[in-house]
Chains A and B, each alone.
Chain A
Amino acid sequence: MLEDELSVSIREREGVAIIDLIGDVTTFAEEKINSAYAQVTSGGAKRILLNFRQNDYINSAGIAILIGVVTEVNRNNQKLAVSGLSQHFQKIFRMVGLAQYIDIYQDEDEAVKGFATAAA
């Protein structure tokens, strides 16, 4: 009776495939996140941004899903970044070791700029 917490949408901006994650990222997010990733990958995306919005809760199951995405990103020679995380969750990402594999930006604009700079 508690509603499914996450809605996922895909868009593109300046050569970056942006996956908006709106809501909580827990075990229930697995299918949505994985299929969004599969969709942008089959579209040929090389630069992917996970943009977190209205997020108050990411648990270790959610992080496991993201680690799964990173595994694929490494395999497919893509570049992954995240934006919109609170300071607390940026800390969590660093704590579990994800910061070595994912660039962490404050917001979408910073991320898009960061991707452009890295490509140059």
Chain B
Amino acid sequence: MTSANSDAEIPERVIELRLPSRLGYEKVAMDAASSLAKRMGFNGERIEALRTALAEAVTNAIEHGNAHDSAMKVLVMLTVRPDELSVTVADQGRKQLDQDQTTLTPSLEETFEKQDKGGWGIWLIRELMDEVEFSTGPSGGNQVRMVIHLEK
């Protein structure tokens, strides 16, 4: 909630989205985020990067956090500030993300060997976003916060 300049009144606007835990609904988050980012003045490339990172985060929440449980929701919060857009994705699940998994860099060669070709999502989020933070959400599930900075 707070930022470095906490003595100044930084205006912010929050948009909240609750999505079903089923694949395909990440598009709703992606389109909402790009609609917002476009209005804020982000360029096409940054918007594409946000879409991809958000797709990964929401898909993770659906597949791993909520384990495709349709009773659970994925919560997406978009916070508009004068010089940045911050997006938080939280699941409501019980399956905690192993913190080690959030920092490793996958290797292409190892991936060829593995059965499960995944594991690139988190790496991709880190590559694409200006700030990334993994934590535990308010409902006890996983939460990832990603930020893109507006260059004017």
**Do A and B form a real pair?**
yes
A-side residues, CB < 8 A to B, are 1-3, 5
Q: Which of A1, A2, A3, A5 has the most CB atoms of chain B within a 10 A radius of its CB?
A: A1
B-side residues, CB < 8 A to A, are 11, 13, 36, 39-41, 80-82
Contacts of B13 in A (CB 8 A): 1
Contacts of B36 in A (CB 8 A): 2
Bound-state CA distance A99–B73 (Å) is 45
For B81, give the chain A residue with the smallest CB separation.
A1
Bound-state CA distance A1–B78 (Å) is 13
Contacts of A5 in B (CB 8 A): 39
A sample of 9 cross-chain residue pairs with beta-carbon separation below 8 angstroms, ordered by A number, consists of A1-B11, A1-B81, A1-B82, A2-B36, A2-B39, A2-B40, A3-B39, A3-B40, A3-B41
Q: How far is the CB of A15 from chain B (nearest CB, A)?
A: 36
Bound-state CA distance A1–B82 (Å) is 6
For B38, give the chain A residue with the smallest CB separation.
A3
Using A1-B11, A1-B82, A2-B80 as known contacts, list a sample of 11 further A-B pairs with CB atoms less than 8 Å apart, ordered by residue number in A: A1-B13, A1-B40, A1-B80, A1-B81, A2-B36, A2-B39, A2-B40, A3-B39, A3-B40, A3-B41, A5-B39
Bound-state CA distance A68–B81 (Å) is 35
Contacts of A1 in B (CB 8 A): 11, 13, 40, 80-82
